[in-house]
Structure 1
Amino acid sequence: MLMMNNKIKAKEVQLTGLEGEDLGIMPTADALAMAQSHKADLVCTSLFSSPPPCKLVLRGMAKQEASQQKREERHRAGDVKVKEIRLTPYIEEHDYDTKKAQMQKLLQSGNAVQPVIRLQGKKEGEPARKLLEQLVADLAQAGRKETGIQISGKQVTVKLLPL
């Protein structure tokens, strides 16, 4: 909740200027007049102290900062979705490029990617590992490895996180 300008009901405020300088305690009306003269908003930073600390912020920037902070919190709080992409050890070059582009797009949109190569026989383990190493190297500008390349039973996998 962002308290600013005329919504601040306290009689006095502890004011901080545009450059972060302390302007002391003053009546709210004077602080609002100062904000108007500087073409700024008076923003209350905490409602739990008396007098409430307020600061001058360039007009429009307070709402922009609040929405950006909200977006960042949502981004941090939301768990990263892991998208699984299936490949084969002997994939054609065009198909490889398509899957790589798909994974790059997912990584850039903030999702984690887990390429999985299903194995048919014992001899496919090494080509599958090399394919994933190449894929990790090709996607280095969009994502980084969270886990090493894991060969387990019938599949080879690695988890990539967005940068």
Structure 2
Amino acid sequence: MSKEARINEQIRAKEIRLISNDGEQLGIVTSKEGLRIAQEKNLDLVEVSPSAKPPVCRVMDYGKHKYEQSKRDRDAKKKQKVINVKEVKLRPSIEEHDFQVKAKNAEKFLKSGDKVKVTIMFRGREISHADIGRELCNKLALQLKDIAAVERYPKVEGRNMIMILAPKSD
């Protein structure tokens, strides 16, 4: 509910489909009649489906409804997992030990639930040996195959080759 629902006197429709506070259908009545019924029970008349013909209105405590809605929204937000993209930069002429350090970092990122963007940076004429970069990407993907899936295969973009690894869902 991005915009506020209309309540009580804000409802402009002549006829409405009325639902009582316990969920029982009361049929199609005038909006004045619906408002009278709501006021007798010391509750609000809330338009729940304004696009229906006729609009659907419900007799309820609007303050309580708004509070429960915000509570549901908060709970839904808590359950969301924000996925970050971490980057590991390599060069085509990387030494084996340095490669293992970068692979260990990538593994750490993947285990914490983040995606990993592997960037191989080419300088000067190194770009003519894109196959070396592709081999490095494949070597890293093979080393992390138990915990990562390749989301985007190695692709040259300008002077860099980029591959994206995503954590495998168990």
Q: Kindly indicate whether the alpha-carbon contact (under 8 Å) linking 1:113 and 1:159 is maintained by their aligned counterparts in 2.
A: yes
Unaligned runs of 5+ in 1: 76-80
**2:96 corresponds to 1:87:** no
Matched, 1:25 2:50: no
**Deviation >6 Å, runs of 4+:** none
> What is the match of residue 141 of structure 2?
132
- Which one has the largest radius of gyration? 2
CA RMSD of superposed structures (Å): 4.6
Superposition map of 1:72-151 within 5 A = 83=85, 85-88=87-90, 90=96, 91-102=98-109, 107=114, 113-118=116-121, 123=132, 125-135=134-144, 137-139=146-148, 145=151, 147=152, 149-151=153-155
Report sequence identity in percent: 19
1:45 is paired with a residue whose SS is: strand
Report the Cα distance in structure 1 between the residues aligned to 2:107 and 2:55, rounded to whole angstroms. Answer: 53
The structure 2 residue matched to 1:16, chosen from 11, 14, 19, is: 19
User: Measured at CA, do residues 93 and 130 of structure 1 come closer, stay the same or move farther in structure 2, by a change above 3 Å?
Assistant: closer
Does the 8 Å contact 1:13/1:28 carry over to 2? no
Assess, with a 3 A threshold, how the Cα gap between structure 1 residues 159 and 93 changes in structure 2: closer, same or farther: closer
Q: How far apart are the structure 2 equivalents of 1:103 and 1:86?
A: 12
Q: Letter of the 2:139 partner, please give it.
A: K
Aligned residues: 139
Equivalent position of 1:78 in the other structure: none
* Deviation of the 1:129 alpha carbon: 1.0
TM-score of the two chains, using structure 1 as the length reference: 0.50
CA gap of 1:98–1:159, structure 2 versus 1, over 3 A, is: closer
Change (3 A) 1:128 1:49: closer
Deviation string for 1:47-82 (max 9, x for gaps)? Answer: 4567531246773334456x57xx8xxx9xxxxx99
Unaligned runs of 5+ in 2: none
Match of 1:158 in 2: 163
> Is residue 45 of structure 1 aligned with residue 48 of structure 2?
yes
Amino acid at match of 1:86: V
For residue 131 of structure 1, report the CA deviation from its aligned partner: 0.4
